Amino acid sequence: MTAQITRPDTVHASDRSWRRWGGLVVLAASLIVVVMDMTVLNVAMPDLIADLRPGAVAQLWIVDAYPVVLAGLLVPFAALADRWGRRRMLLTGFTVFGVASTLVLLADSPVTVIALRLVLGVGGAMIMPTTLSLIRALFPDPAERALALSIWGATASLGAAVGPVVAGGLLEVFSWHSAFLVNVPLMVAAGIGGVLLLPESRSDRPGRIDATGVVLSVGGMVAITYAIKQLGKHGLDLPAVAVLLAGLLLMGVFVRRCLRQPEPMLAVGLFGDRVFRAGSLVALAHNTVVIALLLVASQWLQLVQGMSPLVAGAALLPLALGGLVCSPFAPAAAARFGVRTVLSGCLLLTSVGVAMLFVLPRPMPYAGVSVMLLLVGLGSSALGLGSALLMGRAPAHQSGSAAAIEEMSYDIGAVLGVAVLGSLAGMVYRAGLPDGAPDAVTESVAGAAGTSLAGTASAAYTDAFAVVGVTGAAITLAAAVVVWRWVPRDLDLSRLQH
């Protein structure tokens, strides 16, 4: 059995067979795997650090190599998929992702892990934008598409929280290498499902493949991320500032280049629409906060609370529960109360949730942290609505660009979350240690285990956790206010451009 090849950007609206919803399951499974790979490493990091002894910078690159490459390659791969075929690109990404996940078993040094994380980023960049483009093709009706995207968005919360549980279970028995193996059977199953259920889809007006633009976007993204991490670790540093300015310049030239082209590789002009910008901001703000939160929380649970990797992963499940329960009902709530109210309300709920970390008593109880995770999960209901705004406001032939922009928002958020909020956590932690603390202790709270500084280090890391929370609260609160101003009061999801 082969999937039908269709060149237009949409599948016929009257096709409401189980195949379309089965295709959504395949696409949602793709998202779960890619998101899991952003969070599964959080649980595996303590064991990985103990085995490979990477330095602080290497630790950040092990985490960030994947989202940096993914974000940098989203634009060219989305443009290529518009021409070559989105289903074909998706299946190729499954293959790359599965092979790289298997090869992690052979990694025996920090450099090897970073290299394989780079390859995983390539596979993820092939997968992420094509999933959204194919959802646009499968569900041309705006109201139905909003429901599909809400289900798709709910899987982001599921992947973020289930990944640590699965990784924790594997780490109870095997080495940290095994945490990556969960990708392999899921990629095989998704590949088979994609062949059987997904139609081929291409744009009738694809953007140009611009080699110069690829160099500009990738170079700018890497430079900006590297500079932010260096500034977060060392404070004001002139070489890092220079790299940051160079990265911003490269991205500025890339945007200017796209605006001057009639059929650009990335339809930057979509940002002229305030509603489209609001959808992008939702993805950016939410992922910035949640990825950093999961990174710090997973290590707090293991290194301060003393939980095993499996128990620590299970302790993060309230985040997934909140998203799974509420996300499918977000379109109905938006129809009843208004898109603007639901979007801003979800961001406000996330803000209230993470702000709890700053007011919880010390030592911080897990019960309070679990309530925080549940509130953040409930707030993630905004993700599907944000996706509906992005995909609905873009013309059909620019759905690839819209998908790339949304995924860039997610992944830039992930990079900023780790680089900025992760570095902030490190600064607060080190500030809470006494002068002359050993390097092993200042590098990680794990280095204080079994020493006289264990209690001090745990308290310092808890304070760092709280500061990440209150900073994340400020970010999501600001995003809620901006989204309220950008989204019209009477916006109707069923009447979005399509």
- Whole-angstrom distance, CA of residue 231 vs CA of residue 346: 31
How many angstroms separate the CA atoms of 74 and 80, rounded?
10
Q: Which residues of the chain have pLDDT under 70?
A: 1-17, 38-39, 42, 161, 205-207, 229, 232-235, 496-498
Helix axes 56-84, 211-234, angle to 10 degrees: 160
Asked if residues 23 and 197 have their Cβ atoms less than 8 Å apart, the reply is yes
Cα–Cα dist 202/83, whole Å: 6
At 347 the pLDDT is 95
pLDDT in tens, 429-466: 888 888 878 878 887 787 888 788 888 889 999 999 99
Q: Do 55 and 109 form a contact (C-beta atoms < 8 A)?
A: no
Reported pTM: 0.82
Residue with tokens 């995770």: 373
Q: Is 181 helix (H, G, I), strand (E, B) or coil?
A: coil
pLDDT tens-digit map of 193-231? 888 888 887 777 666 777 888 889 888 877 877 777 677
Residue type, position 302, single letter: Q
Helix ranges (H only) for 360-398 are 366-379, 382-393
What Å distances lie between residue 465 and 19, 291, 357, 373, 470, CA to CA?
A: 45, 13, 7, 13, 9
For residue 364, the model assigns a pLDDT of 92
C-alpha dihedral sign at 45, 47, 50, 51: negative
Rounded CA-CA distance 70/73 in Å is 5
pLDDT at 461: 92
Whether the CA torsion 375, 28, 31, 165 is positive or negative: it is positive
Cβ contacts of 163 within 8 Å, gap of 6 or more: 35, 36, 37, 38, 39, 40, 43, 182, 313
Q: In angstroms, rounded to a whole number, what is the distance separating the alpha carbons of residues 257 and 212?
A: 9
Instruction: With H, G, I as helix, E, B as strand and everything else as coil, classify residue 200.
Output: strand
The architecture of the domain spanning 12-210+261-495 is: Up-down Bundle (1.20)
Give per-residue pLDDT as tens, 347-396: 999 999 999 999 999 889 999 999 999 999 999 888 888 888 888 888 87
Q: What does the pLDDT read at residue 10?
A: 46
